[in-house]
C-alpha cells in the first residue's frame, strides 16, 4: 500500500472507490448475471414443459391415460394369442426366421406348457431351442427377439463355450408365449 501512502486523501478515496466499484461490476458480471440468466432460462423451460404437458393431457384426456399410453409404447410388439397350435407355429416360425437372420445354427426345438403366476393368469407355452453360434450372432438374435410379436419373455438362457474353438458358443434358451384360447 505504498502507492496509496503517496497520494493525498482525496486521491486515495477516489482510487478506493474506483477499486470497490470495479469489484462490484466484476462480481455482477461473473456471479449475478449468470445466475439471473440461468433462472430465466429455467423458468422458460418450465413454461415450455408445462405447455407440452397441457397439450398431451388435452390429447389423451387424463394423466392416467397418458401414463398408460407410455407404458404401452414401451412394450415390444405383441399380438393376441390364437389357438395353441397356431400360436406355437407362429412363434416357432418367427424365432426360426430371427435365428437364421442372426446366424444361429439351430439343433432342435421343443415345446412345453405352463401357467403364468398371479390373478387372471393365462397359460404360457414355452419353446426351448438348442443351437450353436458365435457371441455376435447371439447378441444380434437377442436384440431382434424383442421385435417378435409372439414372444413374451426369455425364461432361460444357458451359454457354454466350445472347448475346441472358444469363439463358438453352445446355447440353450427358452422363450415363452401366451397360450391361445383354443387350449
Give the tens place of pLDDT for each residue, 7-30.
Answer: 888 988 898 999 999 999 999 999
Cα–Cα–Cα angle for 132, 176, 161, rounded to 5 degrees = 25
Please tell me the distance from the alpha carbon of residue 80 to that of residue 59, in angstroms, as a whole number: 27
Looking at beta carbons, which pairs linking 72-77 to residues 24 or more positions away fall under 8 Å?
A: 76/146, 76/147, 76/148, 76/149, 76/151, 77/146, 77/147, 77/148, 77/149
Output the pTM of the full model. 0.51
Query: How many CB atoms are closer than 10 A to CB 19?
Result: 10
Mean pLDDT of 81-91: 77
| Predicted local confidence at residue 1, as pLDDT | 64
124: confidence class by pLDDT, cuts 50, 70, 90: confident
Per the CB < 8 A criterion, the answer to whether 98 and 144 are in contact is yes
Show me where the domains of the chain are located.
Answer: 2-73, 84-178
Query: What would the CATH number be for the domain defined by 84-178?
Result: 3.30.70.60
Q: Given 3-state DSSP classes, what are the helix, strand and coil percentages for the chain, each rounded to the nearest 5?
A: 55, 25, 20
74: confidence class by pLDDT, cuts 50, 70, 90: low
130: confidence class by pLDDT, cuts 50, 70, 90: very high
By C-alpha distance, which of 182, 178, 181 is closest to 78?
178
Bridge partners for 69 per DSSP: none
Q: Is 97 helix (H, G, I), strand (E, B) or coil?
A: helix
Sheet of 123-134, strands arranged across: 105-115, 123-134, 168-178, 153-161
Amino acid at each position: 500500500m505504498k502507492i496509496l501512502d503517496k497520494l493525498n486523501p482525496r486521491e486515495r478515496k477516489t482510487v478506493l472507490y474506483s477499486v470497490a466499484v470495479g469489484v462490484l461490476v466484476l462480481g455482477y458480471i461473473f456471479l449475478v448475471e449468470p445466475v439471473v440468466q440461468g433462472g430465466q432460462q429455467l423458468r422458460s423451460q418450465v413454461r415450455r414443459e408445462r405447455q407440452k404437458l397441457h397439450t398431451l393431457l388435452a390429447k389423451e384426456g387424463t394423466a392416467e391415460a397418458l401414463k398408460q399410453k407410455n407404458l404401452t409404447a414401451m412394450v415390444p410388439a405383441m399380438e393376441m394369442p390364437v389357438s395353441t397350435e397356431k400360436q406355437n407355429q407362429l412363434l416357432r416360425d418367427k424365432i426360426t426366421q430371427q435365428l437364421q437372420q442372426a446366424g444361429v445354427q439351430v439343433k432342435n426345438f421343443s415345446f412345453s406348457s405352463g401357467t403364468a403366476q398371479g390373478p387372471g393368469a393365462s397359460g404360457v407355452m414355452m419353446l426351448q431351442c438348442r443351437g450353436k453360434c458365435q457371441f455376435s450372432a447371439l447378441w444380434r438374435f437377442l436384440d431382434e427377439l424383442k421385435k417378435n410379436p409372439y414372444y413374451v419373455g426369455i425364461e432361460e438362457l444357458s451359454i457354454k463355450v466350445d472347448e475346441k474353438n472358444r469363439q463358438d458358443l453352445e446355447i440353450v434358451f427358452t422363450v415363452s408365449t401366451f397360450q391361445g384360447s383354443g387350449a
